Amino acid sequence: MLYRIFVGAILMVLIAACAETHNHEHDNKSDSHNHESETEQGAHLSFSKDYLARFDTEFATAKTGIIESKIELPGSVQLDSDQVAHISPRFPAKIKQVYAKIGDTVKAGDNLALAESSETLARFNLISLIDGTIINRHIAQGEHLQPDDTAFVVANLKQVWVDITIYPHLLDQIKLGQQVIIKKLNSKIESKANIGYIAPVVDSDTRSGLARVFLNNQNGLWKPGSFVSASIVSDATPVNIAIPNSAIIEIDKQPHVFIQHENEWEATPIKLGLRGNTKSEVLSGLNQDQTYVSRGAFLLKAQLEKSEFESGHNH
């Protein structure tokens, strides 16, 4: 609702400004801010770039680019199983003292607990096998443990896995080495990685596949067990002219962009080629190095429609 109000306010300002200037254009033809004019080819809009920038309108120069097609898939952060250690007593033992708790950061060789052999009464320490963080503790002082009992679980959280679910119809499009952007849900945090593993079999129930990326987690932002989204670049093609999709408007069911001619902005029909998630290829209608409206074109379109409507009524 706030967005609609904001856009409406902008349109009212633009329309009011154009109307005022139109009423005085014969008195002041040197006005460089905004006015509307008509030629044999149709309606043009005159706005200075500085004026349009006040409404968060952005501009760009037509140039080469890359059209990317992306696939959005769900994923989850997992422990790197190569960086997890389960600490158990070597013999049946009674725990005499516990030194470590969940959340402690430990080094390989650190003493975690003191145990006493149930057979020889010899005492020995349970030690960490790796550097990491204690994520589970299953012992208490006085408890008896067997060699197959896990006393502590230590994990190195500086690298984690992200397991990505591949829907059945997309299995053939996911390849080793493809770039992936991992995003935390409901957050702006993201990280780039590459697919390092694809499971050779699919899930027997869902028929979905699994892809895995190995994610640097030195900053600790990626919590094992949390859900994420994965944006996989499935195709990347270089093209002569690529423009953001936000620049493209539709007039009479044809794609157009607003191209600058001095202070005039002309809605120009274009022919599109490849279309990506964020950018599209322009085959004709826009030339290299021409300046165009890359964001906020819908505001100019609204003003163009208004001027054409008024022109029709005047005639």
State the Cα–Cα distance between residues 110 and 112, nearest whole angstrom.
6
Statement to judge: residues 142 and 266 lie in one domain: no
Percentage with pLDDT > 70 across the chain: 80
Token code pair at residue 145: 């443990």
CATH value at residue 255: 2.40.420.20
What pLDDT sits at residue 210?
Answer: 98
What's the rounded mean pLDDT across residues 120-141? 96
Domain of 179: which CATH number? Answer: 2.40.30.170
Alpha-carbon dihedral of residues 104, 105, 111, 112, nearest 10 degrees?
Answer: 30
Per the structure, how many domains does the chain have? 3
**Where do we find the tokens 């959280």?**
157
Q: Which of 216, 238, 260 is the last residue of a domain?
A: 238
- Structure confidence at residue 161 (pLDDT): 97
pLDDT of 315 reads: 53
- Note the pLDDT tens digit of each residue in 219-234: 999 999 999 999 998 8
Instruction: Give me the chain's average pLDDT, please.
Output: 85
Residues 74 and 184 in one domain: yes
Question: Does 275 score more than 50 pLDDT?
Answer: yes
Same domain, 14 and 75: no
Mean pLDDT of 130-139: 97
Q: Rounded CA gap, 39 and 248, in Å?
A: 23
pLDDT-based confidence at residue 64 (cuts at 50, 70, 90): very high
**Residue 11 in contact with residue 302, Cβ under 8 Å?**
yes
3-class secondary structure, 207: coil
The DSSP code sequence of 37-73 is EEETTEEEEEE-HHHHHTTT-EEEE---EEEEEEEEE
Tokens 């120069």 belong to 61
Neighbours of 121 (CB within 10 A): 9
Indicate if 182 and 308 belong to the same structural domain.
no
pLDDT tier for residue 127 given thresholds of 50, 70 and 90: very high
232: containing domain = 70-80+158-238
pLDDT score for 183: 96
Tens-digit pLDDT profile for residues 156-212: 999 999 999 999 999 999 999 999 999 999 899 999 999 999 999 999 999 999 999
In a shared domain, residues 76 and 162: yes
Q: Are residues 23 and 134 in the same domain?
A: no
Residue 52 CB contacts under 8 Å (≥ 6 apart), including other chains: 59, 293, 296, 300
Burial 275-299 (b: 16+ CB within 10 A, else e): ebeebbbbeebbeeebebbbebbeb
29 or 282: which leads in pLDDT: 282
Question: Do 186 and 75 belong to one domain?
Answer: yes
Instruction: Check whether 67 has a pLDDT greater than 60.
Output: yes
- Is residue 252 domain-shared with residue 285, that is, in the same domain? yes
Q: Is 186 exposed, middle or buried (0-12, 13-18, 19+ CB in 10 A)?
A: exposed
19, pLDDT greater than 80: no
182/279 same-domain check: no
**Same domain, residue pair 175 and 224:** yes
The CATH number of residue 128's host domain is 2.40.50.100
Query: Which residues are registered as beta bridge partners of 89?
Result: none
